[in-house]
Structure 1
């Protein structure tokens, strides 16, 4: 069975405040004469303490993980499993209780009995309440409450009696609670940072594995395309007959296409590129990132239009290039020599597919 940290902390807070609010010797004569006032004081203390423990705002703010600059941070004890920000009005009520409860309690007993346990229980009780306020992330209110408790103790019974009867413990509890919250918040930020680093490392390893797999596929394709020609070339010592030289030229073109513009290729595009080279055209395919972010559906649209353009091309030199652009996916340029001059006889821009087609 897994215990919820919030339930554990709340149970401890209720038990401790109940002990401090009801465990003092209320039956002694010095306070039994003012039982109605004392009951009201105890009721106010317990009600305020338990409200500060259990009250939750309707909309709990979501803390953003700290990025390491010290400007913010996620709270390891926050959210559904731990304390959240105490509403300002509840923190103000706790501060008012820190002022009212000791004053009323000391005022309701004789001056000679103000250092008795039934009159000084409020010192520890208010200290516990300020610890709750600190844990609920209102340290400023808690500091003011401790200062108010100190001032009241000095005015009613003196500094040394106040220190010896529980003020030191209350101050230490409050300070330790704040240090604990700082420590847990820092641990939470470091845990979040470690998780981000681990996620980044996992993503990097996955990308490297993908690149290695891609390189293996390209090597396999290169061997499938150029392997037979290279084997024949080595066997013939480079002395190939004309038809085998033509096969080697076509194989080189196919290999360059696979390495430089694989995202542009499908069976139809490969076929028209092969046909263009077989009629003597010099074809260059170069993918420089113009198709990044385009899905498979969009690629099919681009490839189909590219195949149609190349099917009707009669240029001597054809350049097919993609580059990052807002609207253009592929640019096809054809050049030929006419009357001794190099002219552009083909210019076709293939638009990026619509967002719905990507």
Structure 2
């Protein structure tokens, strides 16, 4: 698959090669042909180095345990120094080599467009200050060798326009990339919110279905009898209310055995509070089965008047069960603690 980066790379190589080839098309004798060839070679080496050199920045693990090499798009410092050196050496070498008579001919002025193209590459590679410094050096060198007016007429203005346009395009691309990244984050956040809403709606439907299954028969009898309930019906209503509170406040603590023991304790008159405050969020289903079995065993032997079942924030304790009963001859607010059980996390005790 052909990427945009590859297409731009090929175009940059072809364009800089064309500009350099113009320097070999001599229409009249030159003073130092070998110097011209050496300057052309230096220009092409530095330019193509700035195009292709992408040093390894770091490595990142990918799926499967392999390391993927990540390369930086920013131009290294060595390449920047070479580009600036080229902006000084090439104009001087070409101007001296072609001689005073040919400094305004096409093979003697190609370096203006060539160095301008090199500075565009440097700017695109994330080094704008280096690019503008290189253009300033090019302007000084070209004006020194051929004069300000000829330098401006023979390509210096064009190089300036290239650099300005490249700067604008880079800014627009960076802004578009930031906007795209922000839009992607917003889309992920919206997707996560929508997913959470779907999950909550599903949980609410499940809770409503459980509520109807538990309280539906009691409500039906209450309506049918006009609110006049027998003692057994009142007991069933209290049991239904307790079941609903258990399902809403501590669903991860419940299984069939725990529900059976909670109902048995309530039928004998115990007041039970079940509360899951998030202490079991990271516990898997196998560990929950062990915790629930310990909880059912604790409730099976409990005889307290009031029982409090709460998850624990302690790393070692999963659930705390506290039972209080009225002492003979003492007020209810002085109930004695007759049950204290800490159910540990399996494997952490």
Name the TM-score, length of structure 1 as normaliser.
Answer: 0.88
Contact 2:22 2:106 in 1 (8 A): no
1:9 maps onto 2:8 in alignment: yes
Correspondence 1:82-93 to 2 at 5 A: 84-93=73-82
Separation of aligned partners in 2, 1:235 and 1:139: 83
> What's the counterpart of residue 303 of structure 1?
292
Which of 328, 336, 340 lines up with 1:343 in the alignment? 336
> What's the counterpart of residue 272 of structure 2?
283
* Secondary structure of the structure 1 residue equivalent to 2:326: strand
> What's the counterpart of residue 172 of structure 2?
183
> What's the counterpart of residue 52 of structure 2?
54
- Higher mean displacement: 97-106 or 149-158: 149-158
Separation of aligned partners in 2, 1:141 and 1:245: 86
Name the TM-score, length of structure 2 as normaliser.
Answer: 0.90
Which of 109, 113, 124 lines up with 1:124 in the alignment? 113
Separation of aligned partners in 2, 1:156 and 1:60: 45
With CA pairs under 8 Å and 6+ residues apart, which has the higher RCO, 1 or 2?
Answer: 1
Which of 152, 157, 163 lines up with 1:168 in the alignment? 157
Consecutive unaligned residues of structure 1, counting only runs of 5 or more, are: 63-78
User: How far did residue 156 of structure 1 move?
Assistant: 1.2
> What's the counterpart of residue 65 of structure 2?
none
1:28 maps onto 2:17 in alignment: no
Contact 1:25 1:117 in 2 (8 A): no
CA deviation vs aligned residue, 1:183-239 (integer Å, no higher than 9, x gap):
111111110110000000000011011001101100100110111111011111222
> What's the counterpart of residue 314 of structure 1?
303
1:18 maps onto 2:14 in alignment: no
Separation of aligned partners in 2, 1:211 and 1:110: 82
User: How far did residue 90 of structure 1 move?
Assistant: 1.5
Separation of aligned partners in 2, 1:96 and 1:254: 82
Contact 1:30 1:110 in 2 (8 A): no
Correspondence 1:83-232 to 2 at 5 A: 84-232=73-221
> What's the counterpart of residue 41 of structure 2?
43
Separation of aligned partners in 2, 1:333 and 1:60: 55
RMSD: 2.1
Consecutive unaligned residues of structure 2, counting only runs of 5 or more, are: 61-69
Contact 1:327 1:351 in 2 (8 A): yes
Separation of aligned partners in 2, 1:225 and 1:331: 27
User: How far did residue 151 of structure 1 move?
Assistant: 0.8
Separation of aligned partners in 1, 2:145 and 2:81: 23
Separation of aligned partners in 2, 1:270 and 1:61: 53
Separation of aligned partners in 2, 1:354 and 1:141: 61
CA deviation vs aligned residue, 1:269-305 (integer Å, no higher than 9, x gap):
1011111112221111122222233332332232122
